[in-house]
Amino acid sequence: MAVRYTESLDGVTADMLAGFFEGWLVPPSPQRHLRILRGSTYVVLAVDDAQGRVVGFINAITDACNSAFIPLLEVLPAYRRQSIARELVARMLQKLADYPCIDLTCDTALQGFYEKFGMRRATAMIVREYSRPGPRGAGS
């Protein structure tokens, strides 16, 4: 399963984004997923052109000055354990290399994975209210 990496959303449609948000209580629809990607400062996608689908993605939002946040990283189950996430993270951290602060939240099981990129463990505070619609205009 050959995979191509891209930072562009050109030609990416919602139907290429099926299958993500595994295990989420309220998974965003593929249409909302596309809006998430379009609203991000940076994205890196892993694309399987033969299947016509996105098989992995990472996004980042920034203040264009000091701080960057990586909200999401996911690889479709059938494509895992092939170092796709490793490549996505490496490429995104390269994009963010000038930012003094780069934050993300993750399960403790994945802290060792991120440490391989030189990231440090920290604590975090979060809100997760998936019944909220998003800001006006974001849609469902």
Ligand X SMILES: CC(C)(COP(=O)(O)OP(=O)(O)OC[C@H]1O[C@@H](n2cnc3c(N)ncnc32)[C@H](O)[C@@H]1OP(=O)(O)O)[C@@H](O)C(=O)NCCC(=O)NCCS
Cβ proximity to ligand X, 14 vs 117, nearer residue: 117
Cβ proximity to ligand X, 12 vs 55, nearer residue: 55
Contact between 80 and ligand X (CB under 6 A)?
yes
Contact between 78 and ligand X (CB under 6 A)?
no
Segment interacting with ligand X, rule: CB under 6 A, options 36-44, 68-76, 95-103, 123-131: 68-76
Contact between 115 and ligand X (CB under 6 A)?
no
Counting every residue written for the chain, the total comes to: 140
CA distance 105 to 123: 9
How many angstroms separate the first and last alpha carbons of the chain?
32
Segment interacting with ligand X, rule: CB under 6 A, options 5-13, 92-100, 104-112, 125-133: 104-112
Among 50, 81, 122, 125, binds ligand X (CB under 6 A): 81
CA distance 85 to 113: 10
Full DSSP string of 17-71:
GTT-STT-SSPPPHHHHHHHHHHSSEEEEEEETTTTEEEEEEEEEE-SSSEEEEE
Contact between 2 and ligand X (CB under 6 A)?
no
